[in-house]
A and B are shown apart, each in its own frame.
Chain A
């Protein structure tokens, strides 16, 4: 009897192993299919658009606050972005396009921004959106109504004028080309501040309901001002699912239609069931080198490290090949400002690296402490590859894992570190991205100091036309590469998985779920 049981268990185990082995080979085939669809846009375009339907999206983090001026979480903002609209919006290449604003002018001295508003915009409660609402919103953001400024980007506003109901003139204290990108912040109805309970915006979707820790429901706004962009979908449900594995299982069971950030392994598991949209997410993963500590204060040493780190290998092993190599602190996701060609300046070359180490007086290498936030397996994995790669030039890397909260304190704030690995999330404004390396910026934790760089950033800020601004930012990127400020590794792709039959999801240089164009097909 006992023996019988044992035999049966063994047989069951055997069958199980066989099954997993089978499904595994299946999975690899799917991977091959999947990799064709990655890179750039979605695959198989079919044309039959169907209006209506409900889409359920798995979100990994809890909503912090429905009020867009209180919320600080990227995930929350990207969900609520469908409820709120700003004067401007961003397109897929990071260019600013008018939204509530019909068009805008910037004065020659760069101090005066004139926005003309569309005259058919209504909030979800039926009231008309006028210049008064813009003034209310911006004064709140800038702290001009007596409160604390909500956004530092708006502190630069001196005063706001409204010559008519549909015209707003914003006066800045000083010239800043970075201000324009700030105008994607939501416009809220004047004198209504119950957004935490029932948010009211002017976006393509209306807030329907929210259950803490479970779901957020949005309904289509049939009165949306941009008639061409009235959503196809009737309803969108964001389901809060902190565990990635459970959202994959839910998708497998057909309870979820979209997973915004899915791992390569998750895709393998889902196989044919889904299709993907994938591309750079405007993140910069770097191995930050503290430019103020020995021996990293020597340019030759930093260059040697850059030459020794094989970024292609990191992308291949850590990111399953889904990432784009970087050469400076800028992702090609922001095409317009991106200086191409820098990624190959430090093509892996151990002999050259050793030569530079010798020139710097470190022929026998040195010990380097690499502090990595343990919460991010991605960075920990990257670190493990780098440890091996730097052995080639006799740099003995001591890996130190710390919690993200202590990382923020010790590394980011107190700058008590030699090297670290971290990802900078995408910003829409190149200034926000590149100012990290300006000498006197307080978050310049790399301690990069370069007069010409500071000058370029300043010139970009003072630039009046976009081409000149872009040229300055591109110059600045070249300086970072030339000086080997740090090792700029990659921009890992974000991959969005959608059930078959859904189409229209696009990738943006900021985390944004534009659900206006998402639709089912026949």
Chain B
């Protein structure tokens, strides 16, 4: 009875993420149609048994393109989180463990990074380099560094005071050993929460950038660019924006609920 309300978001989150992940995996082997195949005869046809989500302005099957686009979404999300997590982990762990001037220096750097509105920073980076999948991933990765750095630093400072850490310091264990063997395993849960939130944030930011024409470039499929392409047809072919927008929403919602769920169930234990 007590755990039920808390597990519902987690359950929904997991099912959404699993469904979308499976769809993504399937898209490697099978899509209903070739996502890039153009059929001028059946342009902008509404959802039907033949085309479940309808077709776009080129007569391409929207479902197939959404499936193909999920690869891009996962790839950018995953890579951005990896970059952000790796760099954030190094910064956060150093700052949190050693404290002192190094902490000051690193955290002020992170503050500076955080002072930029994320999407603006990404737009700037993408315009400096050439727009494309690579620079989008790097930009989104940099964008997510501060979050990871702060969370990891905070948790490390928190756990450092515990006796078992103090004990291993007294035993003369090396810093790396303490960080990796004793501290990190204890803070996986906040990292997981941050990672899943940052993942959905990256997917959303990638869509935003692509919508502005700065992110993933054709012919790589992207949900954000699909939205952009759908915009002129918002009144004549509303299914195009609705299906694409819905999928982005579900993906982001799924990862957010997953993150929230992990945090909640964790609180429950504590």
Contact = CB atoms under 8 A, between A and B. Distances in A.
Interface of A: 17, 20-21, 23-24, 27-28, 263, 265, 268-269, 313, 316-317, 374, 380-381, 383-385, 387-389, 399-402
Contacts of A374: 131, 213, 217
Contacts of B131: 374, 401
Given A374-B213, A399-B217, A401-B131, A24 B235 contact: yes
B245 interface: no
A20 B235 contact: yes
Interface stretch (B14-22, B32-40, B92-100, B198-206): B32-40
Contact of A268 (B40, B213, B218, B236): B236
B40 A313 contact: yes
A388 B38 CA distance: 7
Interface in B211-262: 213, 217-219, 232-233, 235-238
B59 interface: yes
A317 B235 contact: no
B244 to A, nearest CB: 16
Main secondary structure of the interface of A (DSSP, over half): helix
Contacts of B58: 317, 381, 384-385
B57 interface: yes
B51 interface: no
B219 A384 contact: yes
Interface residues of B, number: 20
Contacts of B217: 374, 399-401
A388 B37 contact: yes
B43 interface: yes
Interface in B163-197: none
Closest 3 CB pairs of A and B: A316-B40, A317-B40, A265-B232
A381 B236 contact: no
Given A24-B236, A268-B236, 13 more contacts: A17-B238, A27-B236, A265-B235, A269-B236, A316-B43, A317-B38, A374-B131, A384-B38, A384-B218, A387-B36, A388-B36, A388-B37, A401-B218
Contacts of B130: 402
A268 B237 CA distance: 11
Nearest to B59: A317
A269 B238 CA distance: 13
Main secondary structure of the interface of B (DSSP, over half): loop
Contacts of A317: 38, 40, 43, 57-59
A197 B225 CA distance: 43
A380 B219 CA distance: 10
Contact of B219 (A17, A381, A399): A399
Nearest to B237: A24
A268 B235 CA distance: 8
Q: B37, B38, B57, B58 — which one has the most chain A CB atoms within 10 A of its CB?
A: B38
A23 B213 contact: no
A56 B177 CA distance: 75
Given A401-B131, A401-B218, A385 B235 contact: no
Given A317-B57, A381-B57, A269 B235 contact: yes
A31 to B, nearest CB: 8
19 contacts: A21-B238, A24-B236, A27-B235, A27-B236, A265-B232, A268-B235, A269-B235, A313-B40, A374-B217, A381-B57, A381-B58, A384-B58, A384-B219, A387-B36, A388-B38, A399-B218, A399-B219, A401-B131, A401-B218
Contacts of A381: 57-58
Contacts of A384: 36, 38, 58, 218-219
A400 B219 CA distance: 9
Contacts of B232: 263, 265
Contacts of A263: 232
A267 to B, nearest CB: 10
A23 B232 CA distance: 16
